[in-house]
A = this chain, B = another copy of it.
Amino acid sequence: MQDVSADLQFLSGVRVVDFTQFEAGPSCTEALAWLGAEVVKIENPKTGDPGRRLRPGKPDDDPYYFQVFNANKKSITVDLKSPRGLALVKDLLRKADVCVENMAPGTIERLGLGYDAVRELNPGIIYCQVKGFGTGSPYEKNLAFDMIAQATGGTISVTGEKGRMPVKPGLSLGDTGTGMTMAVTILGALYRRKATGEGHRLQVAMQDAMLHYMRTNFSTQARTGRAVERDGTRSGGGSNAPSGLYPCAPGGANDYVWIMTSRANPEHWSRLCKVMGREELINDPRFTTPDERVKNNAALDEIIIEWTRTRTKHEAMQQVGGASIPAGAVFDTMELMNDKNFDERGIMQVMEHSSYKPYKMPAWPVRVDGKPPRVKASPILGQHTDDVLTSWLGLSEAEVKSLHGDGIV
């Protein structure tokens, strides 16, 4: 197969000291790693990032989760609770451009690596913190995981069926969605720093970041004056009809196609009538205007379902989408993983690894000059300790050996 990915050097030479764990922090530094930064995970020598395994105290049993959020990074082990280990990390921070942490509230400060301490070591550093709740929030000391951010940030309230209890959006937006807003800001700070040398303190809360992804919901609320209610497939959508998920053959759990006709383009509706071989509907008085179609939505949906039920979701998507009407089949994770087209375009790539079996995973989704960046192995715990201590700090082989011998690294 032709090489569909390429090394990306946008952040070549940028050094990131990465104290993050699980997903909200690692998804941020992972974005920097895809762009070519040297991201060095600082991990404790015993267990490392708890994201390395599902069950505490057990051997690495689920490396995929770790790999997908830590590809292209380095790992060094340092005992931060030993004075020599702490001094080593301070030396690394003196040489770093960026540091990022998402520990529980107060932890990094207790380690002696709070903002004021690190700024003193390196006034030009971009010092970044990801927490569940913002400084100044009544919940600022509270712990958070993805679902807590999604509950308190509103995304859960707008997801689910009408009249039933809410459900969680199945994806981990509370984590990766937050990480993306921090990555954007770090890159802005780095750009500015090229000219000024200025360091900055950046802070994001997972709850706050959810509001950024809820802006369309807030605009709906501004129009209606009411809290946005969940409404199944219509949740958060406008009032277009027809628009929604329509069942397809053979009727499996994800055999649905989304067909959407927009008010902003009245031709979507007439095109759909043609695709279904029902051109007489174009002039049917029940359906001539967007408002009439919304009013007669139930009758309209029946007509469309009659058509979709006799086709697979793939056929329906090809026929409707091919006629310039927005359409999309509901693909599940296995269908996406097995879709060869993602491999051919480098959107899914296989990570080869010295210790784990090769795993296929989503790469950074943006193509640069036609190719997404190339996936490289996630690090084994402490794999780059010697490399980083010698290349960043100029330690000798003997010094590194002594640190190993004393259990500091």
What separation, in Å, do the CA atoms of A168 and B240 have in the docked complex? 15
Query: With an 8 A cutoff between CB atoms, is A197 at the interface?
Result: no
Q: Given A236-B168, A264-B50, answer yes or no on A221-B337 (Cβ-Cβ < 8 Å).
A: yes
Chain A 188-205, CB-CB to B under 8 Å as 1, else 0, gives 111110100000111111
Q: Of B138, B154, B190, B369, which is within 8 A of A336 by CB?
A: B154
Chain B residues whose C-beta falls within 8 Å of the C-beta of A307 in the assembled complex: none
Q: Given A192-B9, A326-B148, answer yes or no on A158-B187 (Cβ-Cβ < 8 Å).
A: no
A333 touches B157 (CB 8 A): yes
Minimum C-beta distance from A331 to chain B (A)? 6
4 pairs of A and B residues whose beta carbons are closest in the complex:
A158-B170, A187-B187, A169-B169, A10-B188
Chain A 152-165, CB-CB to B under 8 Å as 1, else 0, gives 11111111110011
A203 touches B367 (CB 8 A): yes
Chain B residues whose C-beta falls within 8 Å of the C-beta of A151 in the assembled complex: 245, 256-258, 328-331
Q: Given A10-B192, A258-B147, answer yes or no on A333-B214 (Cβ-Cβ < 8 Å).
A: yes
Chain A 360-376, CB-CB to B under 8 Å as 1, else 0, gives 01101111111000000
What separation, in Å, do the CA atoms of A345 and B329 have in the docked complex? 41
Query: With an 8 A cutoff between CB atoms, is A298 at the interface?
Result: no
Q: A134-B345, A191-B191 are in contact. List 8 more A-B contacts (CB 8 A).
A: A12-B192, A62-B223, A173-B213, A180-B184, A187-B187, A205-B365, A211-B365, A221-B333
A191 touches B192 (CB 8 A): no
A326 touches B144 (CB 8 A): yes
Minimum C-beta distance from A351 to chain B (A)? 11
B229 touches A11 (CB 8 A): no
B202 touches A367 (CB 8 A): yes
Query: With an 8 A cutoff between CB atoms, is A359 at the interface?
Result: yes
Query: With an 8 A cutoff between CB atoms, is A324 at the interface?
Result: yes
Chain B residues whose C-beta falls within 8 Å of the C-beta of A122 in the assembled complex: none
Q: Of B205, B220, B254, which is within 8 A of A157 by CB?
A: B254
A171 touches B217 (CB 8 A): yes
Chain A 6-31, CB-CB to B under 8 Å as 1, else 0, gives 00111110100000000100010001
Minimum C-beta distance from A27 to chain B (A)? 8
Which stretch, A63-71, A83-91, A275-283, touches the partner chain B?
A63-71
What separation, in Å, do the CA atoms of A243 and B330 have in the docked complex? 27
Can you list 12 A-B contacts (CB < 8 A)?
Answer: A10-B189, A142-B321, A146-B216, A152-B330, A153-B336, A159-B171, A161-B164, A168-B235, A169-B173, A170-B228, A181-B366, A203-B366
Chain B residues whose C-beta falls within 8 Å of the C-beta of A226 in the assembled complex: 334
| A361 closest partner in B (C-beta) | B218
Minimum C-beta distance from A403 to chain B (A)? 28
A333 touches B201 (CB 8 A): no
| A232 closest partner in B (C-beta) | B167
Query: With an 8 A cutoff between CB atoms, is A93 at the interface?
Result: no
Chain A 307-328, CB-CB to B under 8 Å as 1, else 0, gives 0000000000110011011111
What separation, in Å, do the CA atoms of A28 and B314 have in the docked complex? 30
Q: Of B166, B181, B332, which is within 8 A of A245 by CB?
A: B166
Chain A 227-258, CB-CB to B under 8 Å as 1, else 0, gives 11110111111100001010100000110111
Query: With an 8 A cutoff between CB atoms, is A387 at the interface?
Result: no
Query: With an 8 A cutoff between CB atoms, is A344 at the interface?
Result: yes
Minimum C-beta distance from A95 to chain B (A)? 19
Q: Of B54, B208, B209, B347, which is within 8 A of A238 by CB?
A: B54
Which residues 247-299 of A sit at the B interface, judged by CB distance below 8 A?
A: 247, 253-254, 256-258, 260, 262-266, 290
Minimum C-beta distance from A203 to chain B (A)? 5
